Structure 1
Amino acid sequence: MTAIRLAAAGLVLLSAPALGQQQVPAWAQGRPDHMAQSTLAPHPPRMTVTAPGDVPMNRLRVPQGFRVALWAHGMPGARMMALGDQGTVFVGTRVIGRVYAVTDQGGQRSHRILAEGLTQPNGIAFKDGALTVMAINQVLRWDGIEGRLANPGTPTDLTAAFDLPPDQHHGWKFTAFGPDGRLYTNIGVPCNICTFDRDRFALIVSFRPDGSDRRIEARGIRNSVGFDWHPVTRELWATNNGRDWAGNDEPHDTLHRIRRSGEDHGFPWCVGTWADPAVERRQCSEFEQPAASLGPHTAPLGMRFYTGTMFPEAYRGAMFIARRGSWNREAKIGYDVVVAKLDAQGNVTSVEPFLTGLLDDQAQQFHGRPVDVLQLRDGSLLVSDEQNGAIYRITYGG
């Protein structure tokens, strides 16, 4: 357990009293006594190749005028994406420990494994010809990568400079370069609900590209695995995953608008106006409030502002958000992509379905798990599906 530094703040850990000294998996931490026999458990991702004919394209639904096609496949565990200068799409993973590179030759995509054997290399970012990969506490950079995809060579190891925590529970990263040229990443909480060092966990932080000058951009965000910057205001927006074992409908996963570096968004005490009963009460009004709810246990991950011109005007400046889908909820929810639309003041006015069909509500079965979204230079939108090891491309018109 991470050293406790919140005693002065009065935080009290009340999680999982019924578990006693039992050895339980990390995802069961905080499970209350009355749920000891619950069958709820995370859904393991498929780590084998899904044949193109088995990717559930016939289930996918998008609004009228849009089309969705299978853009790339055969990449078990495909999650976060980054776009190279020459059009290469780099893809991070978690469980399988790989980084892929997808290239397009005249409308036909092929992929190769750039790296493997890493510990949850979920975070990837591209800038100035270099690919930066963040695993749990390892940071590697391949310079000039698009010119040597067939033989990437030995990367520059920046691990010591970034000094990231080694904790694997919620330790996987989302990584991106901001408009200020700094490299941003999340640091999730190393538990479900517990005491922890609030200067070390439940953060979004930024660094200079070499790992120096660490700066806390937001604290009290439990586990953000997706963020982006507003194309006009340059404000940082981030998704957040709430804790488990608090009930089917609490807490909600959330979308956060970060206006100033160092803002406190409330975890572990609050998620919006919901005060967690497992910790000592605080007034939730003292923390920054979420910009929008994204539903209970929906697992919102990758998100991007749409800045292209292919989609209709109503989508320009909106956020596309991949919701991987629930496990800690009796009735499944999520497994889709939603679009959050803003008014002129930057307030969220609606969160609407966009890519649906992967969840069969009646049978309570899911057929895919969207994890990230990425806009291509032509204005089309890619969606990665971890469960099927596939990437879909959404276009409009034509």
Structure 2
Amino acid sequence: MMIRRLLPLLLLVPLCGAAPGTSAPAAPDNLTKIKLPPGFTISYFARNVSGARSLAVGSDGTVYVGTRADKVFALPDRNHDGRADEVITIASGLNQPNGVAVRNGALYVGEIHRIVRYDNIATRLKQRPKPVVVYDKLPNKEWHGWKYIAFGPDGKLYVPVGAPCNSCEPEEPIFATINRLNPDGTGLETFAYGVRNTVGFDWSPVDKSLWFTDNGRDLLGDNLPADELNRAATPGLHFGFPYFFAGDVKDPQFGEGKSAGTYVKPARKLGPHVAALGMKFYTGRQFPAAYRNQIFIPEHGSWNRSQKLGYRITLVKLDATGKQATSYENFATGWLQGQKAWGRPVCLLVLPDGSMLVSDDQNDAVYRISYKAGVKK
């Protein structure tokens, strides 16, 4: 009698769990939570890339990754299958080497206080080569001190120096600026002023003007100020810090007696405290033509807003002249689920095949976004 009662329960066991000799189904991957427009897909280019932030690519397709810890990584994709073959630590013991850029086979790395260079890096990925110091007279302040670096159309290396505070009038004029110098470290000059903290910039493929994101100050509430997308068509412009934010938000301490009209207004206001970082113009051919020469912005996500905002990739569309922003919309969302984030996008990189990489310093990953007509997400 007891056996008869147990038999129906025993027959149900395989339906409630894994059958003997099999493994349980894998938990759904978080990437399934990412929402993209039709035809776009997202996959892992590399995992276990600890604190992945800035991205650069060499002529052989190797991707280099900076961090805010002490390491720089290389991600070779030798068979060009859209997935890194391995994660190689090419340098360690550095001072928050966030910035990476490649020129003539050399990898430039931006630490807080200096710029260093690793020559012929593609041939020495596993040799832990010693760096050549390019420039070592940058301030050693950690507050907004990590660097995003990139070579401009003029062949110069652009290096920002963030404000050493939430809001202040810095004692040294190099703070809250974007600077440029020759590849050999000579000729440092300031290109833009009044930039609180840019950790992402790129040049327009239409007119070569510099566009950059800038993070607004904290402690003015949830909705003030907006983060900024700025356009610097010429050198010497001032973008408002510490007197005005987002073009019209006066700093309560330093804005008195100042006129907002003195400073360059943002090309586009972004979400408040979204932490807009490593933006890129889309210059590839894989995405539909409507995305060409438009601006993609990874938003790292708010850290002290009562309702989290950001944790996504947004798209700013420009008009036919490439000078005016006409819209600001979501492109990829899903890293934020309710009020809990499982990832934080940091930087973008357009690969030669037209796909786009995205770094994530919370999920320790680099993703690849690709497009194929007719593919359903």
Normalised by the length of structure 1, the TM-score is: 0.84
Deviation at 1:285, TM superposition (A): 1.1
Within 1, Cα distance between the matches of 2:133 and 2:342? Answer: 38
Give the drift of 1:150.
Answer: 1.4
After TM superposition, give the deviation of residue 342 of structure 1 in Å: 0.2
Q: Displacement of 1:54 after TM fit?
A: 8.4
User: What amino acid is aligned across from residue 349 of structure 1 in structure 2?
Assistant: T
- Please point out which of 278, 303, 306 is paired with 1:327: 303
- Name 1:153's counterpart in structure 2: 129
CA distance in 2, matches of 1:144, 1:152: 12
Corresponding residue number in structure 1 for 2:342: 367
Q: CA deviation at 1:216?
A: 1.1
Q: Is the CA contact 1:167–1:190 (under 8 Å) kept in the aligned structure 2?
A: yes
Instruction: Summarize deviations over 1:218-245 as a string: whole Å, max 9, x none.
Output: 1001000000000120000000001111
**8 Å CA contact retained: 1:137, 1:165:** yes
Q: 1:371 is paired with a residue of what secondary structure? A: strand
- 1:202-217 pair list within 5 angstroms: 202-217=176-191
Instruction: State the match for 2:332 in structure 1.
Output: 355
**Structure 1 range deviating more: 279-288 or 170-179:** 279-288
CA distance in 1, matches of 2:171, 2:255: 16
Corresponding letter in the other structure for 1:105: R
Contiguous gaps of at least 5 residues in structure 1 = 1-51
Contact 2:35 2:333 in 1 (8 A): yes
- Cα distance in 2, alignment partners of residues 100 and 263 from structure 1: 35
The whole-number CA distance in structure 1 between the counterparts of 2:103 and 2:239 is 29
Matches within 5 A, 1:186-201: 186-197=160-171, 199-201=173-175
Tell me the CA shift for residue 116 of structure 1.
1.1
Aligned equivalents of 1:270, 1:315: Cα separation in 2: 32
Q: State the shift of 1:55 in Å.
A: 5.9
Identity of aligned residues (%): 45
CA contact (8 A) 1:198 1:219 kept: no
SS in 2 for 1:113: strand
Instruction: Give distance in 2, aligned partners of 1:208 and 1:388.
Output: 35
User: How far did residue 158 of structure 1 move?
Assistant: 2.2
Deviations 1:346-367 (A, max 9, x none): 1000111111011123xx1111
Does 2:357 align with 1:382?
yes
271, 277, 283: which is aligned to 1:295?
271
The answer to whether the 8 Å contact 1:186/1:204 transfers is yes
For residues 126-137 of structure 1, the aligned pairs below 5 Å read: 126-137=102-113
Task: Output one character per residue of 1:249-308: Cα deviation in whole Å (capped at 9) or x when no partner.
Answer: 011110000011010011000011111112242111110110001110000010111111
Deviation of the 1:199 alpha carbon: 2.1
Q: Matched residue of 1:105: which SS?
A: coil
Q: Which of 67, 75, 79 is 1:102 aligned to? A: 75
Q: Distance in 1 between matches of 2:58 and 2:231?
A: 27
Aligned partners of 2:244 and 2:255 also within 8 Å: no
Decide whether the 8 Å contact of 2:89 with 2:126 is kept in 1: no
1: CA distance, partners of 2:353 / 2:171: 43
User: What is the aligned counterpart of 1:255 among 229, 237, 259?
Assistant: 229
C-alpha root-mean-square deviation of aligned residues, in Å? Answer: 1.4
Change (3 A) 1:55 1:135: farther
Output the amino acid matched with 2:77: D
Q: Equivalent residues in 2 for 1:1-398 (5 A)?
A: 56-94=30-68, 96-106=69-79, 107=81, 108-109=83-84, 110-160=86-136, 163-197=137-171, 199-271=173-245, 272-281=247-256, 282-345=258-321, 346-361=323-338, 364-397=339-372
Q: Give 1:34's aligned residue.
A: none
Change (3 A) 1:53 1:392: farther
Could you tell me how far 1:397 is from its partner in structure 2? 0.8
Between the aligned partners of 1:175 and 1:235, the Cα distance in structure 2 is: 16
Instruction: Tell me the number of residue pairs that the alignment of Structure 1 and Structure 2 aligns.
Output: 342
| Structure 2 portions without partners, runs of 5+ | 1-25
Task: Answer whether contact 1:322 1:373 (CA < 8 A) is retained.
Answer: yes
Contact 1:323 1:338 in 2 (8 A): yes
| Structure 1: 4+ residue segments shifted above 3 A | 52-55
